[in-house]
Chains A and B, each alone.
Chain A
Amino acid sequence: MTVRKGLLFLFAIAIAGMIAFEGVAAARDPGYKRSVVRYDVPDVVLVNQDGAKLRLRALIESGKPVVLDFIYGTCTTICPVLSAGYTSVQAKIGPDTRKVQLISISIDPEHDTPKVMKGYLKQYRAKPGWDFLTGSREDIDRVMQAFDSYVTDKMYHRQVTFIRAQGPGEWVRIDGLLGSAELMSEIGKTSKK
């Protein structure tokens, strides 16, 4: 009986997720999908884990390689893997971790206060160069929409990573989850261009 109950719950919940996403079938591929896209990032001011206000565009256009994802502090499944990936990038790029700008944007901005975000980054041994950003729900929605990643509820969260490419507004979009070497390779490709 227990089996049925748990599964029914999972079923139902999975469906809810599927209703929200049309790309589910494609996601059956265990790999990841890479595409190059153009996004117009909104000029919003967000708040990082230290409570500092940061202009998102300025952070993105710093001239450094930029990696961006959407996570939240109490996320159960996707974010831990995305964030462990960030940790591994910082471990691999050497002592000057600032030379690659890692950005995590909260999709649960009401719960993710600077204090919560700071605690989260500590869990992942984050070093300078990794900013976790929150903001008003309206601004966060604008950012999610700009990156074609809008979800109506955090439980519909998708596993997507964005890497800033060389052209104006150009990004490499990675749908799916990467290994550490794969992520380093993708970052390398965009910086060499």
Chain B
Amino acid sequence: MPRSLLVPLAALLCLATLLSAGLSPAAGEGASVPGLSRAETLRLGERIYRDGILSSGEPLTAVVQGDIPVEGTMFSCVSCHLRSGLGSFEGDILTPPTNGDILYQPWDSHIETARLRRGTMEGTSKQRKRTLFYLTRIGEFPSRPAYTDGTLADAIREGADPEGRDFIGVMPRYPFGDREMAILIEYLKSLSKDPSPGVTDTTIRFATVVSGEVSRKERDELLVPLDRYVRIYNGHLRRKTRKSTGARAEEVVRLLPADSEPRLVSLVVWELQGSPETWRGQLEEYYRKEPVFALLSGITTKEWRPVHEFCEENAIPSLLPITDLPVVSETGWYTLYFSKGYYQEGETAARHLARTEAPVSGGPVVQVYPDTPEGNAFASGFRDAWNEGGRAPLLEKALPAGTQATREILEEATGKGRRSVLVLWTGAEAIPALNAMTGGDGGVSTIYMSATLLKEGLLAVPEALRDKTYITYPYGLTDTGPGMMYAKKKVTPQITDRRVPGKAAAIYPVLTEIFSWLESNYFRDYMFDIVDASMLVVASPFERITFGPGQRYASKGCYIVQLSKGERPELVRKSGWVVH
């Protein structure tokens, strides 16, 4: 539905007008649509809003820029107003909030502007300057009365506010019939209306998930700094000061809105014991006892899937869990991962090979991997990416779990003497077999392996194999110290661990960004809207992590490296961070 684009002032005017109009009862109390239960009305309304699909099942149609026809398959209300309905920004275009609580209340520009001006007297100097800048550059919103169902329907259909001012052309004009309009308006009234679970008058509750098999070292590397963050944050709120007392505190309280109603943060640890099949029940029990607003970080060496599915089904955001086995999905919404983990390494190897960055002799491409969750993740990534381009069939050999890749197995898989490309997702234990095989007849022209599987064995790749061995390396080639939030610190790349400190630290700026803008909009979808629109530059073990609307894997890259010659080889970069 509404999609208002405005250049700043026009945007503000439009917002103000959209926010203005007629009579209007309180939002959310409207009658349901005849013939539909309230639940069904909201389901259908959500489908219009998010998917652009009408109650008939057909895509909606509309017109933008005066004469450009669009369909719901191209974009819909959510594209601009986002899931929370609280609006968005892109370039110099602001899309105003479109949830009932805002639309159906009057807007008094004098009060709101005065509030903003008061804000310029408080907060950090950076915040004061920014707030002042908004006021001087954007100006003030004109006052307007609350919307009514009638004026809102007119706005959606005709693209004009109740005072006759046209919205700009990017706001589609939707020729909805009365039934569709009623469904949509009911949905808008429900949008971002009630705070999400996990929030009380004084506290916003978070949990972090730690599975039982995680080592004490990694557990501490995650939990100690998380706990420290919470203590610093709460300490500053309790003192009701926004003055920083040091660099770290500055990061924590940066840009706290002057008039926000911040809640204290509580963080509990949800320990998961036993096999992943039992995790779902444990999660449900934790949540039943004490609902949380979101999950922060978390760590496991196993598949994250049970937690992922729990979060999807309960609409609980999960931010940056530390796992090499995430769920790789194009539709998952509620978990923001660092990357696709092992899968992403597999993808990168396939793309690198397909781009013929490596010498390919025309022989078969053979993938050998253990039939384990880890092996299957690598193999799936490679297979999916390889098959995207309609390339020659991939030969595969899955080794039963616990089976070592011997020379015989590798020779049989690759077809001795066929100049094959061997993609080998095992640890360094396979290197002697590999060396014996390739040293004998040179039957393998190119080898792909993974740095995260080889671990310290990476440096043990024999010199004779180095020219033909390409290694996926999913981290930056300069590393980031765990205490560094924004600056890259050059240190020797580590090979052997999961970079838990760096990953744990990466969540600080993300949390700070969320707290800076969440204010009292305690809606989970709004929290994700904030992260999605974030332009944060977050230091992490990865070369780069970025956010974007609906993007759920922050690190998009993985290097391909080789080892240099000599007894103390170095990593030599053989690809860009992202291989297409």
Contacts and interface: CB of A to CB of B under 8 A. Distances in A.
Nearest to B84: A6
Given A28-B8, A88-B67, A177-B5, 16 more contacts: A2-B521, A3-B19, A13-B89, A24-B8, A28-B9, A30-B10, A76-B80, A76-B82, A76-B88, A76-B90, A77-B5, A78-B90, A84-B64, A108-B548, A110-B544, A154-B548
B580 A51 contact: yes
A145 interface: no
Interface of A: 1-19, 21, 24, 27-30, 47, 51, 72, 74-78, 80-81, 83-85, 87-88, 108-111, 113-115, 123-124, 134-138, 153-159, 177-181
Contact of A80 (B10, B70, B112, B116): B70
B68 A85 contact: yes
A87 B65 contact: no
A3 B19 CA distance: 10
B447 interface: no
Contact of B7 (A27, A83, A154): A27
A67 to B, nearest CB: 14
Nearest to B98: A6
Contacts of A156: 91, 535
Given A2-B192, A76-B79, A123 B92 contact: no
Contacts of A108: 546, 548
A6 to B, nearest CB: 4
Interface residues of B, number: 81
B551 interface: yes
Contacts of B80: 76-77, 80
Interface of A is mostly: helix
A1 B193 CA distance: 12
Interface string B63-81: 0111111100111000110
B130 interface: yes
Interface string B85-117: 011111111111101011001010000100110
A18 to B, nearest CB: 6
A159 B517 contact: no
Contacts of B137: 15, 18, 24
Contacts of A10: 15, 87-89, 94, 96-97
B3 interface: yes
12 contacts: A5-B86, A10-B94, A10-B97, A18-B138, A24-B137, A51-B389, A80-B70, A84-B64, A84-B74, A114-B388, A136-B578, A177-B65
A88 B65 CA distance: 12
Contacts of A80: 70, 74-75, 79-80
A14 B82 contact: no
A4 B112 contact: yes
Given A7-B97, A80-B74, A154-B548, A110 B557 contact: yes
A85 B66 CA distance: 11
A178 to B, nearest CB: 7
A47 B580 contact: yes
B235 interface: no
Contacts of A88: 67-69
B95 A77 contact: yes
A189 B255 CA distance: 50
A87 B67 CA distance: 12
B330 to A, nearest CB: 8
Interface string B503-524: 0000000000000011111000
A77 B170 CA distance: 8
Top 6 closest A-B pairs, CB basis?
A5-B519, A6-B86, A13-B89, A27-B7, A110-B556, A80-B75
B102 A8 contact: no
Given A6-B521, A9-B530, A159-B91, A28 B10 contact: yes
A108 B547 CA distance: 10
